[in-house]
Amino acid sequence: MDYKEIKKKHQHISRLILDKEISSAIKELFDFASNTKKQFHQVQIEKVKDTYLNILKHSFLGIDDPERDNIYCYVQRSLIELTDKIKECLLTESSNLTIYKMKWSIEKELEHHSDEAFSLINNLTFDNELDKILKENNIDLTNNKNDDTKITSRQKALKELFNFLWLTDSYQEVENKTIDSICYSDKIPWHDKSLIVSALTLSLLRIFDVQKFIALLNFYHTNENQVWQRALVGIILALYKYDKQIKLYPELGKQILKLSKVEDINKQFETVLIQIFKSKETEKITKKWEDEILPEMMKMRPKIEENLDLENIINDQFMEDKNPDWEKVFEDSPNLLDKLQDFSQMQIEGSDVFMSAFSKLKNFPFFNEISNWFTPFYKENEHIDIIVEKEETNLQEFIEQLEKSFHMCSSDKYSFCLNLQLVPESHKSMMMEMFNEEMQSMEEVSKDENLFNQFAISKNIITQYLQDLYRFYKLNPHKNEFSDIFKWSFDVQNSDFFNKIITDKQVTRNIAEFFLENEHYDKAVEIFKIIEKTEESNIELFEKIGYCYQRLGKYSEALTYYKRAQLLDETKEWIIKKIALCYRYLDNHKEALKYYMEAEKLDPENLYIQAFIGHTLMRLEKYEEALKYYFKVEYLAPENEKIQNPLAWISFYLGKFDTAIKYYQTILEKKSNEFDLIHIGHVYWSSGDTTKAIESYTKALNILDKDFNKFLESFIEDQNILIKHGISTLDISLMKDYLQNDYKA
C-alpha cells in the first residue's frame, strides 16, 4: 500500500468505528493489519472482537449488563487506537517519506537502549536546571560509549528532543514526567518550552494520545506568556480534529471541559479561530499583492526612479530622512496608495501580508530542520549569534528591535536575518536604518490602535504563531507528508467541543460576521441559521441570511428571509430593494416592479431605483414608460454614459430613429464595438438609409475579423424589430447574403 492508500484506509476504518459500524470496522481492520510485517496486531484485534461478540450475545439473550455501555466504549477506543498503530506501522515499514525514515531511525535507536524514553538523546546538554530535571527522572545522559560525539549545543539537543516528542506515538511514564518537569520549571526559558509545545502539537495531530492532550492542557494552564498561547492553538486544532473521538475518553473530556471555566476563554477561542480563518485567506491576499499591487508598482518604476533620484542615492542628505516626494509618487496611480494603506491595516489586524515576500527566503539550511520552523525568534539563539559575530555592521540593536516586533512571525524574522548575510556591507546600514524607522512607525500605529494591552499582546503572539504554522504547512520541503491543517473546513459550529466550551454566543456571531465580511457566504449562512434558532425576531439576522442566500444565487431562499425582515420594518428601503432584486432574478418582473415602485416612494431621486425600474419595465415590454425613467437617470446624472445604451435601443424599438441615431453616434464616438455598429445599422435601415446601414454592418464585420457567423448571431437578434419597422423577411435574407458575398468577394 502506498501513502495515500494507507491514509484513505485509516480514515475509512476510523469513520466506521466512530459511526458505530463495529462489525464492518473489525473486518476492514483485519485486512488493514494483514499488510504489516508484524503479527501481534491481528492477535489484539481478535481480543477486541471477542469482547464485542460478548456484548452482542448479552444484549439479545436478556442478560442485564450495567457495564455494557462502558465496555462498548472500550471496544471503540481499542479499535481506534489499533487503527492508528497499524497506520503508523505501515507508514514506517513501507513509506519512503522523510519523516517516517526519521521515525524508523528513532525506533531502532530505542530498541538498543534500556532507557526507552531518551536514550536517543545521547549526552544531551541543557542548562543546569534541565540537566537536573532529566537526572531526577532517571534519564542518564553520560552513558554514551562514543564520547567524541557528545552534544554541546543546546540547539542541537532541543532539535533531538523535538524530533523524539514529535515522532513518538504514545507517551509513557518517563516522557510524561519529563514533560511535566519542563512545563512547571521556572528556570527553563519560554522559547524552549514553546518549542516543546510545538512538538507536542505536531505529535498529537499525527496520532491521538491522551497524555499529549493533557500535556498541552498543562502548558496552557501554567499561563506562562508566549507558551500558553501556543498551547491553546495546539489544543484547539486537536479539539477540532478529534471532536468525535474525545467522547470515548471521559476523563480527558472532564479535563477539557474545565476550559469553559477559564476567564476570557471565549475571547481566546475566538481569537484563535478568527486568526485560523484569516490564515486561510493568505493565498487570496498573496494573489492580490502579486496580481494587483506589484504590477502597478512595476508600471510606476520609471516615475519612482525619477522621484527617488537614484543616480544620487548614496549621499548624506538622503541618509537623513525619508524622501519627501513619496506622496507625489502615487499621484499617477491613485488606487495604489489606497491598496497599500489597506495592506497596512490588514497587517495590523492580523492578516498575513508578508507571505509573498518571505516565501522565497525559506531555502536556507536553517529550514532543513523541522524544529526550526517552530523556534521562536530570540536574540540568544545560536544561529543569530553566529550572524551577529560575523557581521561588520553592529546588528545587536536591530536584533533586539526585531525580537520585540509583533508585525513579523518568527519564521520570517529568521529568514530576514539569514538573508542579511547575502546583502553587501555597503547597503546593510541603510537597510537597518530604514527597517528600524518602519518598526518605530508600526509601534506608533500600534499605540494609536491600543494594541499594547495584555490581551492584544496575546492576540499578536497567537497571530505570529499561526503564521509560523502556515509557513510550515505551505512552504517546508516535506509539506506533502503532512495533513495541511489550513485545508480543514473548520466548521467549528458543528463541533461538540465548541458548543460545550464556548458559552458566549457572540463568539459564534463574530465568526459568522467574519465569513460574511470575507465573502464566504455558504459558511456564514450556516452559522447565522444556527443563531436564528435562539433569535427568532432579529431583523439584522434575517437581512444577513437573506443577503448570503442572494450572493449564493439562491434567490427563493433569500426572498423568504428578506420578507421576514420586512415584517419587522415595512419601510426599510434596503430590504424593499433586495426583495425587488430577488424577484427580478426569479424572472417575476411584475412583482419586482411593485417593490421598486415602493422603494421609489421612499427615495424618489435614487438613481439605482430609477434605473432598475427602467430595466424592469423593459422586461415587461413597457418601453414608453421605461424610456421616461431612463431619461430621468440621464438628467440626474449626465456623466453616466452607460445610460445611453438602453436609451438608444428603446428609441430604435419605438421607431424614434433620429433619437436612436443621436445616442448611437455619441456612443460610437467614445468606442466602436460590433454590437452598437450592428444596432445603428438596424436604425439606418429601418429609417430608409440602406447605404449607411451597410457601412455600419461592414465596420462591425471588420471588428469581428470578418467572422460572419459571429456577426450573424448579433445581426438576427433584433430581426423581429426590423420586421416591426417594415423590413421584410426576404429583405433580411437578402441583406445577410449580400454582406456575406461582399465579404467573400
DSSP character string of 32-43 = HHTTSS-SHHHH
Q: What is the pLDDT of residue 637?
A: 87
The pLDDT of residue 605 is above 50: yes
130's CB contacts (< 8 A; 6+ apart) are 182, 185, 188, 192
- Condensed to tens digits (0 to 9), the pLDDT of residues 377-413 reads 998 888 888 877 776 666 787 888 888 888 789 999 9
Give the least confident one: 93-107, 111-125, 370-384, 656-670: 111-125
Q: What is the pLDDT of residue 722?
A: 95
The pLDDT of residue 352 is above 70: no
> Residue 292 has what DSSP assignment?
I
pLDDT (average), residues 186-191: 88
Q: What is the pLDDT of residue 19?
A: 96
The pLDDT of residue 62 is above 80: no
CA separation, residue 200 to residues 80, 166, 424 (Å): 20, 6, 40
Closest by Cα among 423, 411, 523 to 476: 411
Give the cell for residue 2.
502506498
5's CB contacts (< 8 A; 6+ apart) are none
* Residues above pLDDT 90, as percent of the chain: 56
Closest by Cα among 400, 398, 401 to 432: 398
Winning range, highest mean pLDDT, from 11-25, 293-307, 454-468: 11-25
pLDDT (average), residues 704-733: 91
Closest by Cα among 279, 461, 477 to 366: 477
CA-angle at 614, arms to 612 and 615, nearest 5°: 60
- Condensed to tens digits (0 to 9), the pLDDT of residues 268-284 reads 999 999 999 988 887 77
Closest by Cα among 428, 370, 369, 438 to 402: 438
Q: What is the pLDDT of residue 452?
A: 58
CB 626 within 8 A of CB 632: no
CB 223 within 8 A of CB 95: no
Give the least confident one: 127-141, 352-366, 644-658: 127-141
The pLDDT of residue 349 is above 60: no
The pLDDT of residue 218 is above 90: yes
Confidence at 332, pLDDT banded by 50, 70, 90? very low
Q: Where do runs of H (alpha helix) occur along 359-504?
A: 382-390, 396-404, 410-420, 425-448, 454-475, 496-501
Compute the Cα dihedral for 302, 303, 309, 313 and give only its sign: negative
- Condensed to tens digits (0 to 9), the pLDDT of residues 144-182 reads 444 333 334 677 778 888 999 999 999 988 888 889 988
Average pLDDT, the chain: 83
The pLDDT of residue 1 is above 80: yes
Q: What is the pLDDT of residue 282?
A: 77
Residue type, 592: A
Give the least confident one: 462-471, 647-656, 736-745: 736-745
Residues 561, 543: Cα–Cα separation, whole Å: 7
* Residues above pLDDT 70, as percent of the chain: 79
Confidence at 28, pLDDT banded by 50, 70, 90? very high
Winning range, highest mean pLDDT, from 142-156, 194-208, 560-574: 194-208
Q: What is the pLDDT of residue 445?
A: 59
Confidence at 107, pLDDT banded by 50, 70, 90? confident
Query: Domain residue spans in the chain?
Result: 3-94, 98-280, 289-484, 672-745
The count of other CB atoms within 10 Å of the CB of residue 615 is 19
Give the cell for residue 307.
522621484
Q: Which residue has the cell 461478540?
A: 53
CB 176 within 8 A of CB 215: yes
Confidence at 544, pLDDT banded by 50, 70, 90? very high
Closest by Cα among 491, 538, 533 to 512: 491
- Condensed to tens digits (0 to 9), the pLDDT of residues 500-519 reads 999 888 899 999 999 998 88
Confidence at 450, pLDDT banded by 50, 70, 90? low
